[in-house]
Chains A and B, each alone.
Chain A
Amino acid sequence: MVEWTDAEREAIQAIWAKVQHDKVGPEALGRAMIVYPWTQRYFKTLGTFTNAASIFGNEKVAKQAVIILHGIDRGVQNLDNLKATYADLSVLHSDTLHVDPDNFRLFGDCITIVLAAQMGPTFFTAERQAAWQKFVSVVISAMSKQYH
Chain B
Amino acid sequence: MLSKYEKELIATIWERVALRAEDVGAEALLRMFTCFPKTKTYFDQKDLSPRSPHLLSHGGRIVEAIAEGAKNIDTLATTLAPLSVLHAYQLRIDPTNFKLLCHCILVTLSCRMAEEFTPVVHAAIDKFLSALSAVLTEKYR
Seen from chain A, the residues whose Cβ lies within 8 Å of a Cβ on chain B are 27, 30-31, 34-35, 52, 56, 109, 112-114, 116-121, 124, 126-127, 129-130, 133-134
Contact = CB atoms under 8 A, between A and B. Distances in A.
Interface stretch (B3-11, B74-82, B84-92, B104-112): B104-112
Interface in B89-122: 103, 106-108, 110-115, 117, 119-120, 122
Interface string B113-134: 1110101101100100000000
Contacts of B117: 113, 117
Interface of B (DSSP majority class): helix
A129 B110 contact: no
Interface stretch (B14-22, B29-37, B61-69): B29-37
For chain B, the bracket of interface size reads 20 to 34
Given A121-B27, A130-B34, A35 B110 contact: no
Contacts of B36: 133
Contacts of A121: 27, 108, 111-112
Nearest to A112: B107
B112 to A, nearest CB: 6
Contact of A113 (B34, B115, B122): B122
Contacts of A130: 31, 34-35
B31 to A, nearest CB: 5
